[in-house]
Amino acid sequence: MSNNEKTTPQNNNKKAASTRNQSPVKVIRVGAIAASIWKRQTTTGFEYLDFSVSRSWKLKNGEREGYSQNFFEGNEEALFEVINLASRYIREQQVEDQESQFNENVVVDEPERAAA
């Protein structure tokens, strides 16, 4: 963080607000369990992906529904699967990004330009 960039409650609120308005880049769902994959950026500009896990629920009478970050023992298999799939997706994206950056940095020797 530079000297000009100080952490204040107002800066934290702006960051929190921008995160709240952001949509996940991908949602992976297994039954009632979902992993939302987010694109984040550090204060230094480094971009990365991470994920959050939630469980959807609905009352039997259908009046209310929502999401929870709390789970039951019966969610174990779905949790394992959704975490595995989210981690795999992030790894695949990192490989694609590395390959893309490599291809951007490759210099092709063009004989016509070299002779000019």
pTM of the model: 0.68
Residue 20 pLDDT: 54
Q: CB of 91 within 8 A of CB of 51? A: no
- As given in the structure block, the two tokens for residue 46 are 């480094």
Give tens-digit pLDDT for 41-67: 999 999 999 999 999 999 999 888 999
Domain ranges of the chain: 9-98
Torsion on CA atoms 25, 84, 17, 68, rounded to nearest 10:
120
